[in-house]
Amino acid sequence: MSTEKSSLHKELKDKEIEVKELLEIISQVKSNNLDLEKLYDVSRIKIEAVQLREERDELKIRLNDVDGAHQLLEGIFLKKKKIFKI
C-alpha cells in the first residue's frame, strides 16, 4: 500500500509540474515571447526521460526477479549441502 501511495504522490507532483509549465507557456504566448525551438527541445527531453524511467523500472523488476532466483538457488544449495554434509 505504501508503494502505491508513493507512486500516486509522485504522479501528482509530476502533474503539478506539467500544469505549472503549461501556465508558463500560456503566459509566453500571451506576451508573444514563445520560443518554439526551446519548447520542442524540452518536450523531446521529457519524452526521453519518461522512456528512461520506464526502462529503469523494468530493469529493477528484472533485478528483483534475478535476486529472488539467486536466493532460491542458494537455499537449495544449502539444503543439499546439509544432506550430503559437504
User: pLDDT for 3-48, tens place per residue?
Assistant: 788 888 888 888 898 888 888 888 888 888 888 888 889 889 988 9
Higher pLDDT, 74 or 84: 74
- Nearest C-alpha neighbor of 60 from the set 7, 1, 5, 13: 7
Spatial separation of the C-alpha atoms in residues 31 and 40, rounded to whole Å: 19
pTM of the model: 0.55
Spatial separation of the C-alpha atoms in residues 34 and 61, rounded to whole Å: 41
Domain assignments of the chain as residue spans, ordered by start:
1-32, 35-86
Whether 55 has a pLDDT exceeding 90, the answer reads yes
pLDDT band at 86; cut points 50, 70, 90: low
